[in-house]
Each structure stands twice: as C-alpha cells, then as structure tokens.
Structure 1
Amino acid sequence: MDAPPSCVKDFGQVRRRIIDVAVDELTGKDGLLIEWKPTKQGGRKVTGLEFRFKPNPHLFLF
C-alpha cells in the first residue's frame, strides 16, 4: 500500500489519505460502485478491510 509510517498506527489517516482517495478515483474513472467497511475482532482495533465492487448501472444509461 506504500502507507507512510505516520499512517501505520492511525486508521483515520489511512482512510483519509489512501482509501477515500482510491475509492473516489475508481468511482470517477471506472464507474464502479464501491462499498467498504473495516473489520474488527472484539475491540476497537481494525484488523482488516472488506471491499465490494459493483458496476454502476446508471453509467450505461448516458
């Protein structure tokens, strides 16, 4: 992911600097609908990410 060292321990920074930027770019360029959520196991610490990709049905109407 090439996350800077300052982002490794702060998931908020990872979300803002990497995930949100990538999701916005893919939505704009490829017309994908992307849903994602962090996964946690028993606490507050994020242990993984779950992504779901769907083609945007409205993209083909234009």
Structure 2
Amino acid sequence: MEVVIVGVLMMFLPTLIALLRGHHNAFAIFLTNLLLGWTVIGWLIALIWSTTAREQRVRSA
C-alpha cells in the first residue's frame, strides 16, 4: 500500500511543485501531468514547466 502512495506522489510531483510555488499555470500542468505523466517525456515536460518562473502579478493602485 505504501508503494502505491509513494508512486502516486512521485507521478504527481510536478503538480505538487506547481501548487506549492503558486504557478499561474498549475491547472494546465496538472492536466499535462494527468494525461501524459505516465510517459517519461510527458512527466519531464510537466516537471520542467512546474519549475519555470512564475508570472508576477502587478496590482494597480
């Protein structure tokens, strides 16, 4: 059972990173991770995307 939990956490690591960093494309990263994460290339794309720079939002006064 623990192996399954660790496996799911590892598969969704890019999504977790995006959520923790407050990435503005977190939902798109989640979808990429969900649909293509089972492939090595899809998982790597989601991982790299989740670690890219966040968009800085500017508040107007």
Q: TM-score, normalised by structure 2?
A: 0.37
**Higher Cα Rg, which structure:** 1
Between Structure 1 and Structure 2, which shows a larger proportion of strand residues? 1
Q: TM-score, normalised by structure 1?
A: 0.37
